[in-house]
Structure 1
């Protein structure tokens, strides 16, 4: 199974953001792809230059590569049709040139990178669920999705409504219809 790691880096000269994908195959070879969502530059283990680059930087995993990029030990720059990675640490700096892919191949590579990202995200989410306590997960899900037991007593017993009390405002009595007041009572004269 191959291991894959993604990171984003801002190119210092232009300020453009790029997504890096570093993949290590089960046979030990590296592949590096860089995209700005329009163009793609790549180098794989068939390039001697990539093998020299990974050896000089002591890269053992894709995580090592992303750590070097984020820590500033490796700089990234686009020059016309080439993208260049340059190590800045150590006494003997090394460079890696990444080739620009043609439009059709770049489109397919971006598609593959998106699927790898989605797989990596879903795998990390699956690992997070598995890492949490099975007891907590069982309690959480059982209370939300299982039906309530029918033979258990309800928590709150409903109060009986007294005759004449209001349904809307149970603490008050219903108002009775007005009977009226006679102001002109003929008996008072």
Structure 2
């Protein structure tokens, strides 16, 4: 059963100056890397692969040449290159340079330390099945992630619609609804009603002043 690609064990890097395509997939194979055809018994194996989905380059390390590479860079034999590679991928500090002789070299950096790896081109008959395996595994990972995202969307409840505050009233209130409104009511005075006691009619009409009786 093929192992899934480990997080941080794969990255996409540009070639040369790094401005635009072509782009290359770079991944590692080792005790903590994704591996392609690694033997579980070879716990010390480590290799870096670079491909553009057509051609393939790798470091072609043997356990002996790997220890020699570490010694050349002043590293302890127990130093884990897979950890180096994951950290460089996370920090986007991986650079690739292709040479005229079809070889390449890769540089990975971690803080102030830098490692350089020489990569040789893998012959096409040997490279084709490895590139095919990588592409199929990447497609499988994408399908798996899409299913997980779809499941999360189904589990997430849709937000309820809330009334918008400060929304203007588009229609005037019903006139009948204002009849029962509280507040002072001003009654219109009718002719013949008493001015002192509104609602009662005057018993006799008002008359003017008679100056003759004065």
Separation in 2, partners of 1:62, 1:28 = 15
Q: Tell me if the contact between 1:49 and 1:96 (Cα under 8 Å) persists in the aligned partners.
A: no
CA gap 1:124/1:64 in 2 versus in 1, 3 angstroms: farther
The alpha carbon displacement at 1:114 in A equals 1.0
Decide whether the 8 Å contact of 1:6 with 1:117 is kept in 2: no
Query: 1:101–1:124: structure 2 CA closer, same or farther, 3 Å change rule?
Result: same
Which one has the bigger helix percentage? 1
The aligned counterpart of 2:108 is 87
Match of 1:3 in 2: 5
Tell me the equivalent position of 1:144.
none
Report the more deviating stretch, 115-124 or 22-31.
22-31
Per the alignment, residue 19 of structure 1 pairs with 25
The answer on 1:77 being equivalent to 2:97 is yes
- Residue of structure 1 in register with 2:89 after alignment: 66
**Higher alpha-carbon deviation: 87-96 or 55-64:** 55-64
Alignment of 1:40 with 2:56, yes or no, is: yes
Deviations 1:44-83, CA, capped at 9 Å, x for gaps: 6745549848976874387534224x2xx23211122322
CA change 1:94–1:103 in 2 (3 A) is: same
If the length of structure 1 is used for normalisation, what is the TM-score?
0.52
Question: Which segment drifts farther, 42-51 or 14-23?
Answer: 42-51
Higher strand residue share:
1
Unaligned runs of 5+ in 2: 159-214
**Greater relative contact order structure (CA < 8 Å, 6+ sep):** 2
Provide the C-alpha distance between the structure 1 equivalents of 2:57 and 2:26, rounded to a whole number of angstroms: 10
Q: What is the rounded CA distance, in whole Å, between the counterparts of 2:47 and 2:151 in structure 1?
A: 30
Partners of 2:88 and 2:95 in 1: CA distance: 12
Alpha carbons of 1:135 and 1:56: their partners in 2 closer, same or farther (altered >3 Å)?
closer
Listed as ranges, the gaps of 5+ residues in structure 1 are: 138-189
